């Protein structure tokens, strides 16, 4: 029984530490992703507004296609992580610089209206035109052609190029170092726990052996008395 007790304690400790490590890893990955999104949107919140504010996208009351193409190209060269979309007032995608065809023809306006209507610092995600059902952080600004609102400049912060790089970074030195450190800490905790359980159960084994010996002597004494 003492051995089974030690085995039960060792198994329980191993399961607890494994669950703790998995939970810590999951929380770290999730919070890191959220922090990255918050940082991206905070740093580039006014990116679309600055592009629109330069006044290069509209000439003589209409969209300047050449200037728009130049802006798309320059942004992709400077920062491949962003994707730029030109939307009409209904959210329909009119122009874009993302590679390949788009599964979405329009994006929802509700996140855009929230983005333009509040500056709370909370993460606001909008539709990712390249992936139906997926949302990403963005920057957006209304565009005016002449004296009328024409649509929106919608900038996805962290497109597929960024996602591919982020996936490659899963094998980065920093991540490996962090995981190795976590594994070492858990291993040390497991070894220390097993050593402690061994000391405690050793005393229990001695006590159990003493009780068994006393019981055996008592039984022999009773048998001798009866004889």
Burial level of 22, CB count in 10 A (0-12/13-18/19+)? exposed
- pLDDT exceeds cutoff 50 at 64: yes
- Quote the CA–CA distance of 171 and 151 in Å, as a whole number: 41
pLDDT per residue as tens digits for the range 76-117:
777 777 888 989 999 999 888 766 778 899 999 999 999 998
Give the pLDDT score at 73.
74
Residues found in the chain: 227
Q: What is the pTM for the complete model shown?
A: 0.71
Looking up tokens 């504010």 gives: 53
Angle 201-207-213 from CA coordinates, rounded to 5°: 135
pLDDT per residue as tens digits for the range 135-158:
999 999 998 777 778 889 999 987
- Which has more confidence, 172 or 25? 25
């Amino acid at each position: 029984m003492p051995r089974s007790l030690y085995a039960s304690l060792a198994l329980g400790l191993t399961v607890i530490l494994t669950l703790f490590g998995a939970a810590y890893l999951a929380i770290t990955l999730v919070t890191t992703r959220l922090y990255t999104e918050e940082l991206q949107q905070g740093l580039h919140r006014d990116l679309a507004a600055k592009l629109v504010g330069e006044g290069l996208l509209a000439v003589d009351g209409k969209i300047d296609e050449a200037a728009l193409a130049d802006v798309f190209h320059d942004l992709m060269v400077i920062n491949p992580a962003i994707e730029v979309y030109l939307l009409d007032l209904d959210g329909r995608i009119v122009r874009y610089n993302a590679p390949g065809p788009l599964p979405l023809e329009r994006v929802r306006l509700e996140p855009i209206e929230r983005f333009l209507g509040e500056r709370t610092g909370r993460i606001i995600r909008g539709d990712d035109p390249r992936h139906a059902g997926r949302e990403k952080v963005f920057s957006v600004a209304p565009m005016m052609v002449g004296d009328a609102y024409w649509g929106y400049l919608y900038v996805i912060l962290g497109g597929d190029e960024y996602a591919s790089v982020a996936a490659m970074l899963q094998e980065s030195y920093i991540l490996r170092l962090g995981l190795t450190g976590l594994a070492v800490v858990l291993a040390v905790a497991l070894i220390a726990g097993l050593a402690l359980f061994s000391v405690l159960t050793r005393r229990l084994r001695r006590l159990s052996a003493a009780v068994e010996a006393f019981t055996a002597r008592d039984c022999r004494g009773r048998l001798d008395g009866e004889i």
